[in-house]
Structure formats: C-alpha cells, structure tokens
Amino acid sequence: MRTRSRLALLVSSVFSIALSTALAEESKSKLPEEPIPLQPVPKRPKPLLELGEPFLGSGTLAKGFTLPTGATWQPAFLVWGNLRSALFTIEDRDGSDKSEWGNRLDLVAQLSLTYTERVVFSLRPLDESGKFAGYVFSPDGNDGGQTELDSTVNTLFFEGDFSELFPKLDPTDSRALDFGFSVGRQPLLLQDGMLIADAMDSVGVVRNTLHLPGFSSFRVTGFYGWGHVNRGGNNAIDPSARLFGIFTEGGTPRSTITTDFAYVMSDGLGGDGWFAGLSTVQRFGGRLNSTFRGVVSRALEQETPYTGTGVLLTSELSFTPHHTRDIAYFNAYGAFGNYTPAARGARMGGPLGRLGIHFEGSGIGAYGAAMTNRSEDVFGAVAGYQRFFNAQRGQLIFELATRNETTDEGVFQGGFGTRFQHALGRRFVVRLEGFAVGTETRKPRYGARTEIMVAF
C-alpha cells in the first residue's frame, strides 16, 4: 500500500504540474505590431575546461603554426559534459515495484587542431553494466546504495579531411581529394538508429559532394568495424564480430534518400548476417513532414537472439498546426519476422525507440521503455502532440501508443504517456514524465520519473 500511494502521488504530480503549465501559457505566434530592435548577443556559457581558441568565441584568431604539408593548425582543448540525476518508481504488471535514484555523468574532451581535424574522447564514470550510482529503494533485497564506477572508454577517435591535411597536393583546389575519414572507437548512427546505433572500433572514409543525375548532392561512405561491436538483437558485445558497410545519402528536389548496407561476419554470437535500410524524408504541401523507412535483416546461418531474419517498416508524419509552433505527429510501424539491427549499443533496447516516448528508454537507472521496443512480429501506432511555450524553453508532450503482437500468444497493449521539461537558466533542465500501459489479460503497468540535468 505504501508503494502504491507513493506511485499515485508521483504520477498525479507529474500530470498536474505539466497540464497546469501548458494551459497557463498563452499563444505567442501572433506577429508583433512594433518593430523589435537588434538584440544584444548573449554571453557565451563557458565549458568545464577550455584551452586555446575559445569555442564559438569572438575576436582575433591566433596565428597558429603551419605544417610541412601546408596545413595550418590552431590547437584548442575543450572539456564539457552533463550530469543527470533521476528519481523514479514503476509498478509492474505482476504487482512488483521498482523505485530508484540514479545518476549518470557524461564527460567529453575534444582536441581541435582545425575546424575539420579533431580528437574526441568520452567517458561515463558513474554507471557500469546497467547499474548507476545512486540508491535502490525497492524491490526488497536489492535496496541500498550503489557506487558504480567505470573507466571504460566510450569514444576515442580522430577525424579529418585529406585535402585539409595536405593542401599542398592541390593548391588550386581542383582535384577530387576531398575525402573525409575517421578512425578509432566512434559512434555510428544509421537509419535513425534502427539499422546501427553503436560505438565501435572502426575506420570510415567518406566522399562528399558527388554529382549524380537527379541529385543535388550525393555522399558515399565506406566503413569497417573490427572491435567492440554490440550485436543488435540482444545488445551484447561480440569479440569476434567484424562489420563491413557501404552507406549513401543523396538529395533530390523533393526528398532526401538514404540507402545503407552492412555485412556482419562472426565466429561467435549470432553468426554471419547482412542488413540493409532505405529511407526517404520529404515535405508535402509545405506543411506535412514525412519519413518512410524500411530496414531488413537476414541471418545467413541459424537464427539466434542476436541475428534474426525480418523486415521493419515505419512511417513518421508530423505537422505544425496553424497559429502555433507546436508539433502534432503520427507514427506507424510493422515488423514481419524477427528484425534485428546490425549493431546496437548495450542498454539501448530495441530499434523502435525513436518512434515515441512510450518506446524510448531513459538511459539512466532501471526505468526502461513503457512498452518493449523490440521488433518481432508486431505492429502498432503512436499519436502525440508536442506543445512549446515560454519562448521554446519549455515543452509538453501528450502521447497515445499501441502495440499488437501477431504471434499466437501475442497480446495487445495500449498506453498513455506525458512528458514535461523546461530549461532553468542556461545550464539546467528539469523533466517530469509518466505513463500508464494496459493489456487485454494482464494488470496495467504504471511509472513516473523526475530528472534534473546539468550541462557544463
């Protein structure tokens, strides 16, 4: 009873605060009748550490130094990050509850040599193996403080442009030497994370500004990943996995078209498999934004939880209602077979995460997605409204979602969720959110969470 009372109080607080804030805000879409003079440029917030040229600063640039290759470097070192602290409670369908206070720290350091060459390094020192520094209130037997320190390197890579590193090879800029490249443990996001969303030891080479018939611009990337590859079906690192990829993106007068192909070779988890994705992004009638996407996976050996065979189709539509700056959206999805991404990082869940707040994981603590974001024999839809207020410093989302599994034992789920967040000052963001998900044959599932984030 005490857990349910605490849960009910937290859920009602989330809904009442978010709703009252949104309703109290008047629309500001009307154009002013008086001219607005040129506004002063706000002062630049300083990062945690800054050496050399100030990031987005003003004034005279330092002279730097010139290499024998002809490249001029102006080194600058920058450290920034954010600290998230969240308190949440969930009552699951079996009557059990989870209540936790969790903390997450993301630290990023960057050594910029020019505006195209840099070294990036990042850590997450307060969480390890899905556990976060903080305190577990329930379930019984797991309560107590947690000190989860982790020194694992999340990212460490160098990226640059060949023509900028060796400008003497093409002093008139007339040769096709504009090849970008990156090497190291680097994040890769393809098809909005539905095909690949992982940080792996890899090398990539990209050729931009290619000209093909019917395209205003075209880009081709060759990619090879040899280590720290998380198999997307079960989000587990496969030490033997090697990932090969060809990724393209081009712009036409009406659409942006992306095609991606990846092949994973492995002697360990999941075996070999190939993966592909196609998406188009366009705007209809000047008002309706749309994204249509299809991704496919094919296990070349026996299907496993790490590599499956299936297809995932999604449609995302959104528009801004008249006289507002808000966004109304409707997303639909359908998975046929067991679609698995080529690679997806640990603790990131399944590929449906970007379709709505019901499927999005929090990234902190055991507060996962309200509905499972896996993509095996399932279809459903998401409808929501995102309201902006207070000069876009605050936003409120209301969302309805469905999930219908098509297997013989599959169940139908329907849910309602809301999220309120607001910027405080220049470095703080507060967020309140909650959800309720019901099924045909099981008890409802409830959850609520409050979080504060500090950017530095």
pLDDT tens digits, 387-407: 999 989 999 999 999 999 998
- Given pLDDT bands bounded at 50, 70 and 90, which one contains residue 144? low
**Whole-number Cα distances in Å, 22 to 30, 385, 420:** 18, 12, 9
CA distance 307 to 304: 5
Q: Express the helix, strand and coil content of the chain in percent, nearest 5 each.
A: 10, 55, 40
Residue 262 has pLDDT above 70, yes or no: yes
pLDDT tens digits, 14-31: 555 555 555 444 445 567
Report the chain's mean pLDDT, rounded to a whole number.
87
User: What SS3 class is residue 419?
Assistant: strand
pLDDT tens digits, 41-75: 778 888 999 998 888 777 787 888 888 988 889 99
Residue 142 pLDDT: 62
Provide the token pair at 388. Answer: 């902006």
Pairing mode, strands 196-210 and 343-344: parallel
Cα 416 to its chain centre, rounded Å, is: 22
Count Cβ atoms within 10 A of the Cβ of residue 21 and give its class: 0-12 exposed, 13-18 middle, 19 or more buried: middle
Residue 35 has pLDDT above 60, yes or no: yes
Residue 1 pLDDT: 45
Cα 190 to its chain centre, rounded Å, is: 11
Q: What is the DSSP string of 41-101?
A: PPPPPP-SEEEESPTT--SPPP--EE-TTS-EE--EEEEEEEEEEEEEEEE-TTS-EEEEE
CATH number (3.10.20.30, 2.40.160.10, 3.30.1330.180, 3.30.930.10) of 2-23+63-455 reads 2.40.160.10
Residue 236 pLDDT: 83
pLDDT tens digits, 186-207: 999 999 999 999 999 999 999 9
CA distance 315 to 404: 16
User: What SS3 class is residue 185?
Assistant: strand
Residue 26 pLDDT: 46
CA distance 159 to 167: 16
Sorted by where each begins, the domain ranges of the chain are: 2-23+63-455
pLDDT tens digits, 90-120: 988 777 788 999 999 999 999 999 888 999 9
Closest residue by Cα to residue 253 from 197, 215, 199: 215
pLDDT tens digits, 338-382: 999 999 987 778 899 999 999 998 888 878 889 989 899 999 999
The residue-averaged pLDDT of 69-94 equals 90
Taking the CA atoms of the chain, what radius of gyration do you get in angstroms?
24
The residue-averaged pLDDT of 297-307 equals 89
pLDDT tens digits, 263-281: 999 988 778 999 999 999 9
Residue 312 pLDDT: 97
Cα 422 to its chain centre, rounded Å, is: 19
CA distance 313 to 308: 16
Asked if residue 341 has a cis previous peptide bond (ω within 30° of 0), the answer is no
Residue 196 pLDDT: 95
The residue-averaged pLDDT of 70-91 equals 93
Closest residue by Cα to residue 81 from 113, 146, 125, 131: 125
